[in-house]
Amino acid sequence: MPVEDSERAAAWAQIRQFGDPVLKEKSHQAQVDEDLRALVDRMIRIMDGAEGVGLAAPQIGVLRRVIVFRLDKELNVLVNPEITWRSEETVRDDEGCLSLASLATQVERAEKVRVEGEDLDGKHRVYELKGLKARILQHEIDHLEGMMIIDRASREGRKDLLARLSRTKQPGE
């Protein structure tokens, strides 16, 4: 479904951008309760409004270990996600971030990962993913550690990203 301009602007206005100190903080363990459900609802609206495939709570200023993401368009929520296994094989590919105005840079990631956590019913969930899907999860879990793609980029990648960022207005504007 296409996103209305007003919805898109409202979503972007709530996404913390690179330079905001909250993005460098480590998030705390989350507990499934009414507050967390309300937070997740808000995160889903913002992710979809900004047409992203994933969002971590610190990106909207909340230091809780919860992420939302879409795999083949299917919505997923993971509370206290942990990468419990990663392949030695890695891949470099372009990766964008909503907290960097959707700009992308080359990032090296494990090709395959196993991620475990809880869903909103408190049920244990295990994901075994590869390729782009594995990349999305590694990216969102990085946010819970205060880590962004700019921290994983090469020196040139970082320079280039900063240069492009300084020329870019926020996509919602």
Q: Which stretches of the chain bind Zn ion, using CB under 5 A?
A: 97
State the Cα–Cα distance between residues 28 and 26, nearest whole angstrom: 7
Cβ nearer to Zn ion, comparing 33 with 75: 75
Cβ nearer to Zn ion, comparing 86 with 146: 146
Q: How far is the CB of 23 from Zn ion (least distance, A)?
A: 9
Is 106 in contact with 152 (CB distance < 8 Å)?
Answer: no
Q: How far is the CB of 149 from Zn ion (least distance, A)?
A: 7
Strands (E), 32-149: 54-56, 66-71, 74-86, 90-96, 104-110, 112-118, 124-130
The phi, psi pair for 83, rounded to 5°, reads -85, 110
Q: How far is the CB of 170 from Zn ion (least distance, A)?
A: 14
Cβ nearer to Zn ion, comparing 31 with 102: 102
Given the residues 140, 145, 156, 173, select the one marked as catalytic.
140
User: Nearest Cα to 124, choosing from 133, 116, 134?
Assistant: 116
Pair of tokens at residue 119:
């869903």
140 is catalytic: yes
Cβ nearer to Zn ion, comparing 32 with 59: 59
For residue 102, the 8-state DSSP code is T
Q: How far is the CB of 47 from Zn ion (least distance, A)?
A: 11
- The catalytic site residues sit at 140
